[in-house]
Amino acid sequence: MAATMATTGLAPGNRVADLCTGSGVLAIEAARLGAESVTAFDLSGEAVACARTNAAAAGVVVDVRQESFRTAALSGPFDLVLCNPPYVPCPEDPEVAPVPANIGPALAYDAGPDGRLVLDPLCAAAPDLLGDEGTLLLVQSELCGIDASLRSLRATGLKASVIARQWIPFGPVLTARARWLESTGRLPVGRRTEQLIVIRADVP
């Protein structure tokens, strides 16, 4: 995602929002690339504290707020919106496919049985966040429906397409969920890699 943002040249001189910022890595990179301003949002107080600490250590200015993407629109509009949301499918009963306790808070990755608990409302809200000629860059896994995101974004009037793809090995969360994903038909039996994609959605 960071590399894709740099390649597009969309950050320099623009107002940038980073939704679901987590550690703040994308917000920090946007500031390093020369964004006019960067505002980062996350629901987690721990994530907000972490992002603020990381931005200070990196020597860049990022306004980090404990807010959801639904309220981020009140601070906009933005020229560029970045988002690496939670998108890992999870069973309704966490005991079905337990994740190691040292992985971190489930809020950072779990996104309902289809992985779209955050993606669906985010795609619907995207136009409210963007100014004229604004752009959304969204990263997600193939396991939670690439076409569903494209359809949702296009339904709002945005022009959306996949602009980057990368195959990566499973991390600890998907490794713990692999057999459940296989049993629900979301994952071919025996595969332990996933394709991550970056979607670009533009205001026409």
Mean of pLDDT values over 178-198: 95
**38: closest CA among 65, 69, 71?**
65
CATH topology for 2-202? Rossmann fold (3.40.50)
CA pair distance 38, 35, nearest whole angstrom:
7
Q: Token digits for 81?
A: 């919106």
- What digits encode the pLDDT tens for the residues 55-82? 999 999 999 999 988 889 899 899 999 9
CA pair distance 17, 71, nearest whole angstrom:
12
Contacts of 124 (CB under 8 A, 6+ apart): 152, 156
Secondary structure (DSSP) of 164-179: EEEEEE--HHHHHHHH
**What local confidence, expressed as pLDDT, does residue 153 receive?**
98
**Cα torsion angle, 44, 45, 50, 55, sign:** positive
- What digits encode the pLDDT tens for the residues 47-62? 999 999 999 999 999 9
The residue ranges of every structural domain in the chain are: 2-202
**What local confidence, expressed as pLDDT, does residue 105 receive?**
83
pTM above 0.95, yes or no: no
| Residue 98's pLDDT band (cuts 50, 70, 90) | confident
CA pair distance 33, 8, nearest whole angstrom:
11
CA pair distance 11, 142, nearest whole angstrom:
26
